[in-house]
Amino acid sequence: MTRKSESRVRAGAYASVGAALLLAACLGVEAAQAQAIMRTPTISVPSRTPTINPSVAARVSPGVAARAVGVARGPGPITTIPRISARLGPTPVLPYARYSPNLYPACNRDADGECLARPNAGGGGSGKVAKKSVGKGRGNATPVAANVRAFANEFVAEIDGALSPTEADELARRHGLTRVASENFPLIGATFGLFRITDGRPSETVRREFAADGSVRSVQPNFRYVLQDQKASVPAEGDPAQYALAKLRLPQAHTLAHGANVTVAVIDSGIDARHPELAHSVADNFDALGSAEGPHVHGTGIAGVIVAHARLMGSAPEARIIAIRAFGGSAGAAESSSYIILRSLNYAAEHGAQIVNMSFAGPKDAVIERAIAATAARGLVLIAAAGNAGAKSPPLYPAANPNVIAVSATDQQDKLFSASNRGNYIALAAPGVDIFLPAPDGKYQMTSGTSFSAAYVSGVAALLLERNSALKPEALRMTLAKTARDLGSPGRDDLFGDGEADAFAAVMAVPADGATPVAAAPGTTKREDAERRREEPGIRAIEQPSLSSTDDKGTISQVDRPATR
């Protein structure tokens, strides 16, 4: 072979080897890409902690300081806690409260999510929870069976206000009763007492005899009320990023209002006012129980829904809270009664509350109906949990009272919470499933229930009142209804009422103090009936409704109310 031929062969070999190396390199790159796709990617997720305006001053009003009242108080004076910076970087896993109890009598559920009555059911809430759900909601409910509706051998009675304590005690002794407590309630202009049977006679016999006494105006059972939450879930269930913020469009609403200078009375269990999420937000405390219990997981969570402002964001982070302890219990359960709820409403009305949050439920109660009517007549906005007793439950109170805004619960997929009550008294819906909230001792919890849905709406109401302090309760209610995001069947229905609250649309629809009305916020998806759609543009100005407006789908007419109304 010549030298030239050898050079050609060698060149060809080099070319072949180069091609082979190039092919191998290509195959190697492709194999590396495929392997990378199969691996779990590392994604940098920015902090989802909302930002609060750090320039807002502390919210404890000197004019709403602790007041001297003739009852035992709850927690002592609140220690001032330095305001935590609202702008946080990525945060570690938050400590969970793992002791959250069921705060109402335990029950079994049927296939429809109905709470089945249990003989001899008490208020301890120690039973296990059935795992039924719509979306992610877990099933447990509030039975209202006759044996748990009222406290045994106790009566609430209106008595002659001219009687001295000694004379009231003598009145009780004449009928085999003990006067547990009595006081005058300016809210309703009457004196009521709590009496207990001490001689073992049948309660109905005692009630009839007592009611016939000339010093007694009325007598009724001391009804039982229970908080409306569910057993806390494990930390893996739910999204700590607070999906409710986006559902309610709260970040957008907070560009216009934060609930500043608005006072919300929270009638609930004890609140941990020292929790960083609630720092400087509790302006007043009242213990209607006269108890020595510490803060409770339910009340702390409810307050967090409204005013959280550290790692979490409440619906009205600059609002003031009047913490009214009305629910308590020695075994983890928390319950209340007609007499205690009456004391709580009286305190809220007498001490400057503009909104009253009632995340509890019970039977229809003449004394509480009277107190609610008087509270509404003073211009307070009343908001309550619809109840967690399921699809077949009768209306629960105070939510079913026509003066109260009843709120049902939805989950992250906008499905109705399985345990949520239904009925034509439902006004609105709001997130209430797997809600991430503060708990006592600086901890956090994941919990569900219409309790928290009601609290979100209470916060939204505070935004509207900051926006326009002259807004009347019925006008506020109608604004929430007209701007709600329709869910379920078009228009009002028994599951979601007028739809899920839209904080941004509602705030935009309310003229600021001294300003003219602005157009409804774009993006609202509230469906109107076909005739209204033909007559009006898609985005329209919403004027402040009058109390007599009855020509609009958003108006809550007597036709929409239960027959008992």
Predicted pLDDT of residue 230: 58
The strand pair at 282-287 and 108-109 is best described as unpaired
Q: How far is 473 from 221, CA to CA, in rounded Å?
A: 31
Listed residue (280, 349, 337, 345) closest to 308, CA to CA? 280
Q: What is the DSSP string of 409-473?
A: EE-TTSPBPTT---STTEEEEEE-SSEEEEETTTEEEEE-SHHHHHHHHHHHHHHHHHH-TT--H
Alpha carbons within 13 angstroms on the beta-carbon side of residue 406 total 30
Q: Which domains does the chain have, with CATH numbers?
A: 150-223 (3.30.70.80), 243-509 (3.40.50.200)
Listed residue (504, 554, 500, 506) closest to 529, CA to CA? 554
Query: Taking the alpha carbons of 284, 289, 290, 293 in that order, is the dihedral positive or negative?
Result: negative
Q: Among 229, 268, 287, 365, which one carries the catalytic annotation?
A: 268
The yes-or-no answer on residue 275 being catalytic is no
Predicted pLDDT of residue 543: 37
Predicted pLDDT of residue 1: 53
Q: Among 233, 336, 408, 451, which one carries the catalytic annotation?
A: 451
The strand pair at 320-325 and 150-159 is best described as unpaired
Residue 115 bridge partners (DSSP): 109
Per-residue pLDDT of the chain (565 residues; tens, 9 = 90+): 545 455 554 555 555 544 444 444 443 433 332 222 223 333 233 333 444 443 444 444 433 333 333 333 333 333 333 333 333 333 334 443 332 333 333 333 344 444 443 323 322 222 333 333 333 333 333 333 334 788 989 999 999 999 999 999 999 999 999 999 999 999 999 999 999 998 888 889 999 999 999 999 999 999 999 887 755 443 333 345 589 999 999 999 999 999 999 999 999 999 999 999 999 999 999 999 988 888 999 999 999 999 999 999 999 999 999 999 999 875 556 899 999 999 999 999 999 999 999 999 999 999 999 999 999 999 999 999 999 999 899 999 999 999 999 999 999 999 999 999 999 999 999 999 999 999 999 999 999 999 999 999 999 999 999 999 999 999 999 999 999 999 998 999 999 999 999 999 999 999 987 554 443 333 333 333 333 433 333 322 333 333 333 333 333 333 233 333 2
Identify the helix (H) or strand (E) that includes residue 368.
Answer: helix 366-377
The yes-or-no answer on residue 272 being catalytic is no
Q: Are 230 and 419 in contact (CB under 8 A)?
A: yes
Q: Among 298, 309, 365, 448, which one carries the catalytic annotation?
A: 298
Task: Please list, in sequence order, all residues whose beta carbon lies within 8 angstroms of the beta carbon of residue 356, skipping any fewer than 6 positions away.
Answer: 264, 265, 267, 345, 348, 375, 380, 381, 382, 383
> Look-up: residue for tokens 């806390």?
232
CA distances (Å), origin 83, targets 56, 249, 289, 308, 360: 10, 25, 31, 12, 31
Give Cα 518 distance to the centre of its chain: 29
Query: What single letter denotes the amino acid at residue 517?
Result: P
The yes-or-no answer on residue 451 being catalytic is yes
